[in-house]
Homo-oligomer: A and B are copies of this chain.
Amino acid sequence: MTPPTGITRATLLKDLRLEWRSKDAINSMLFFSLLVVVVFSFSFDPTAEESRQIAGGLIWVAFLFAAVVALNQTWARELRNQVLDAYRVSPAPANSLFLAKVLGNFIFVIVLEALMTPLFIAFYRLRALGPAWQLLPLAMFGTWALVVNGTFFAAMCLRTRSREIMLPLLLFPISIPALLAMVQATTAILSGESSARFWIVLLSTYDLVFTTVCLLIFETVLNAE
């Protein structure tokens, strides 16, 4: 038997390959991130001092936005010809599928963020007054928090009516602590006024707890009729 990680890898590679094959994936992501930043700078005058002060919030709302759009189509491919049924009758463990999807989304959203951040910095002329390197683990942990819950709830929403609107309904309340931590930490780092360490630790604990629990109960959710 292929070990679970092997299946995760195969699934992830398949998803990435399909994403890549529709070549424009990367282009469209680039374009999308540019657009979000532009729309934001039209809405919030970047030259004004105020905007710069709320940049932490701006960035994370933009990321959340991008993540919800991405997460809503996580399972679209599997839904098309009920491929999920083929997965369910196979001996492959549900968690391998879950991890593959989480990783796929993680890569997707991280790439988007990597594209957006320089744009934000350029447009809003941001400068970190605190330790800038902390932004990296922050982005990692924050994105993982969004993505792991998002993937889980997207799977849950497969079994509900009006699926698309359900995802934010379930995802937002539970993500509030994570979102709060991200915004606060970013602001702390950018302004250099306080330490972001507490928030980063909080986020990593959050990630740990939710990843564990999601892995524990994903099988139940997948196999719900």
Contacts and interface: CB of A to CB of B under 8 A. Distances in A.
Interface string A61-99: 100110011101100100000000000000000000000
Q: DSSP majority for the A interface?
A: helix
Interface stretch (A114-122, A135-143, A171-179, A189-197): A171-179
Contact of A70 (B60, B165, B166): B165
B54 A165 contact: no
Interface stretch (A1-9, A35-43, A198-206): A35-43
Residue of A24, A36, A76 with most chain B CB atoms under a 10 A cut-off: A24
Given A39-B64, A42-B179, A76-B164, 18 more contacts: A22-B161, A24-B162, A25-B162, A28-B166, A35-B172, A40-B61, A43-B56, A43-B58, A43-B179, A43-B183, A44-B57, A45-B57, A48-B54, A50-B51, A50-B53, A54-B54, A65-B65, A73-B162
